[in-house]
C-alpha cells in the first residue's frame, strides 16, 4: 500500500482533519493506496494558494507558461511505467489499454503547450475611427484573450490520467492556476501525477491537488467564491448539481457529461466487419467510456446477421486479470459500479428485453474477489425501457430494429443526451444526411470513438457545455476582452 499526501501551495500536506480513506484494486479488492480525506478548510487553503499564485503566473510570457506545460508532458513520458501500473492496479485498466491512455494523456499535454501559443497570439487588424480620412487609422482594435483566474478541475475515474492531463495542460498554459480534485475511487493516480509535477520546481500554488468525495469537495469547490471557472467531466446528475451550486457566484463552466450514444447500421454496411469492430469498441475499458456506443439501431434486413456476429465476437472476449497482456476486458471500477450495472440488467429483463449474451458474473477462482461482469447484450429493446434511455456506463448494450432512415434518425435523436453517434454505410452521401441530422457533438461514418489529441470533445443537450481539448483546448480556458485604443 502506498501512502499519499495532498499537494497544496507547493507543499505535501495531510487533511486538516487527519482523516484518510483507502483505494482498492477492482480486480481483487486489495488496498492500493491511502489518501487524505479533505474537508472545506483544505479546499479553502488550496483555493487561496491558487489565487495568490495567479497574478504572477498570468503575467508570465506565453513562451514561459507553454515551456512549463511541455516539461510536465516530458515528465509524464519519463514516468509512464509508474502511471501505467497504477492505471491497471487502481482503475482496472488492461495492460493493453493503459499504455494507450498514458500516451494519449502525454499527447494532449504536448498539444496544449503549443496550441496555447497560437491561441493567445490572435489579434484583429486596426480599424479606422469614424470620420478619419480614407486610408488612415488612428485607432487600434483587438481581441485579447485572458485567463479566468482560479480553475477547479474535477476529473472522472474512467480514464483518470488522460482527463487530468487534458484539463491541467490548457488550464495553466493560458495563465490560470488550478485546484485539481481527482476521482476519489482512484485518487492514488491523481496524487502520483502530483508527485511527478512536484519534482519540476514549478511556482508554488499554480497546481494544487485535494482528494475526497465529490459530494463534499465538489460542492465546496463549485460554491467557493474564490473559484472563477469549473471544468467537470462526469455524470449529468452531478453536473446539474455543479451548475446549480456555481450559479450563486456565476462561474464559467466547461462540462462534459453523460452519453447514450447511438450506432446506426444501414443495410448496405459491411455487416460482419462493422459488428466485430463495434463489439471491440463497445467493451473496451469494460464499457466505461462516455463515447462508447450503447444503443444499436440496425436495419431490419441485416439485424439478425449483425447481432449474431456481434454476440459471437463478444463471447470470444477474454475477461480476466487486467495485468495479463491477453486480457481484453478487466473488472469494472468498483463493487458499487457493478451493483449499478446489475440493476440495469435486471430492469431490462423485467421490462421485456431479450438477453442474448452475458448478464452474469464470470465464474472461477480468478473472479471471486474482483468486480467482474461478462459482456452483456440485449435485443428487442423498446424506446421507453430504462436501459434504452439511461447511461449504464458498463459492459451492457441493446439493439433495436428499424425500417427507414427517418425512423432511425427519430429514434437516435429521442434522447436527453447528445454526446456522439456513428453511421455505418457504403453510401457516403446517405451517411452525410445522417451526420447533418444527428443531434450529437461528434459523429463518425464507418468508425466510432476515433479520437486523437487534436480532437475537441463535447456534446449537445444534457451531454454538456462547451468543447474541451484538442485544437480548441486553450480557448475554453480563456475569456475574451475587446480593446480599442485611439491614438491622440
Q: Which positions are annotated as active-site residues?
A: 167, 256, 290, 468
Distance CA 84, CA 257 (A): 25
Sheet (strand 6-8) strand order = 11-13, 6-8, 207-209, 177-181, 150-154, 229-233, 252-256, 464-465
Residue in the block written with cell 428485453: 353
Distance between terminal CA atoms of the chain? 68
**Rounded-to-integer distance, Cα 400 and Cα 296, Å:** 6
State the Cα–Cα distance between residues 479 and 361, nearest whole angstrom.
49
Residue 130 burial by Cβ neighbours in a 10 Å radius (0-12, 13-18, 19+): exposed
d(CA 305, CA 393): 26
CA neighbor of 462 nearest in space, from 421, 416, 420:
416
- Give the Cα separation of 414 and 459 in Å (integer): 15
What is d(CA 340, CA 355) in angstroms, rounded to the nearest whole number?
17
Amino acid at each position: 500500500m502506498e501512502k499519499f499526501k495532498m499537494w497544496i501551495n507547493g507543499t505535501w500536506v495531510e487533511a486538516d482533519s487527519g482523516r484518510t480513506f483507502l483505494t482498492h484494486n477492482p480486480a481483487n479488492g486489495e488496498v492500493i493506496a491511502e489518501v487524505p480525506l479533505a474537508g472545506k478548510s483544505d479546499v479553502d487553503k488550496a483555493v487561496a494558494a491558487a489565487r495568490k499564485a495567479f497574478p504572477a503566473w498570468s503575467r508570465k510570457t506565453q513562451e514561459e507558461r507553454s515551456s512549463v506545460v511541455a516539461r510536465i508532458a516530458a515528465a509524464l513520458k519519463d514516468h509512464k511505467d509508474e502511471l501505467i501500473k497504477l492505471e491497471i492496479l487502481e482503475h482496472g485498466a488492461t495492460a493493453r489499454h493503459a499504455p494507450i491512455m498514458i500516451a494519449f494523456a502525454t499527447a494532449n499535454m504536448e498539444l496544449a503547450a503549443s496550441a496555447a501559443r497560437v491561441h493567445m497570439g490572435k489579434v484583429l487588424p486596426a480599424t479606422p475611427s469614424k470620420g478619419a480620412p480614407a486610408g488612415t487609422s488612428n485607432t487600434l482594435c483587438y481581441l485579447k484573450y485572458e485567463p479566468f483566474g482560479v480553475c477547479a478541475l474535477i476529473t472522472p475515474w474512467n480514464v483518470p490520467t488522460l482527463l487530468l492531463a487534458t484539463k491541467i495542460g490548457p488550464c495553466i498554459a493560458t495563465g490560470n492556476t488550478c485546484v485539481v480534485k481527482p476521482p476519489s475511487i482512484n485518487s492514488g493516480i491523481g496524487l502520483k501525477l502530483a508527485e511527478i509535477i512536484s519534482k519540476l520546481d514549478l511556482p508554488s500554488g499554480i497546481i494544487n491537488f485535494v482528494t475526497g468525495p465529490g459530494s463534499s469537495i465538489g460542492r465546496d469547490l463549485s460554491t467557493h467564491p474564490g473559484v472563477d471557472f469549473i471544468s467537470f467531466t462526469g455524470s449529468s446528475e452531478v453536473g446539474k448539481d455543479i451548475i446549480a451550486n456555481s450559479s450563486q457566484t456565476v462561474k464559467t463552466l466547461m462540462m462534459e457529461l453523460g452519453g447514450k450514444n447511438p450506432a446506426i447500421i444501414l443495410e448496405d454496411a459491411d455487416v460482419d466487419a462493422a459488428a466485430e469492430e463495434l463489439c471491440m469498441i463497445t467493451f473496451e475499458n469494460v464499457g466505461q467510456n462516455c463515447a462508447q456506443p450503447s444503443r444499436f439501431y440496425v436495419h431490419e434486413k441485416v439485424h439478425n446477421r449483425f447481432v449474431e456476429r456481434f454476440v459471437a465476437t463478444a463471447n470470444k472476449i477474454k475477461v480476466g486479470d487486467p495485468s495479463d497482456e491477453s486480457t481484453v476486458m478487466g473488472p469494472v471500477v468498483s463493487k458499487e459500479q457493478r451493483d449499478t450495472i446489475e440493476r440495469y440488467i435486471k430492469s431490462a429483463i423485467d421490462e421485456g428485453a431479450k438477453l442474448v449474451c452475458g448478464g452474469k458474473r464470470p465464474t472461477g477462482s480468478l473472479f471471486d474477489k474482483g468486480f467482474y461482469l461478462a459482456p452483456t447484450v440485449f435485443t428487442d429493446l423498446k424506446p421507453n425501457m430504462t436501459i434504452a434511455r439511461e447511461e449504464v456506463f458498463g459492459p451492457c448494450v441493446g439493439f433495436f430494429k428499424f425500417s427507414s432512415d427517418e425512423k432511425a434518425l427519430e429514434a437516435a435523436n429521442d434522447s436527453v443526451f447528445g454526446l456522439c453517434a456513428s453511421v455505418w454505410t457504403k453510401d457516403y452521401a446517405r451517411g452525410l444526411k445522417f451526420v447533418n441530422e444527428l443531434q450529437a457533438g461528434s459523429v463518425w461514418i464507418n468508425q466510432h470513438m476515433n479520437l486523437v489529441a487534436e480532437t475537441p470533445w463535447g456534446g449537445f443537450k444534457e451531454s454538456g457545455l462547451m468543447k474541451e481539448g484538442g485544437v480548441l483546448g486553450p480557448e475554453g480556458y480563456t475569456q475574451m476582452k475587446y480593446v480599442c485604443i485611439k491614438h491622440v
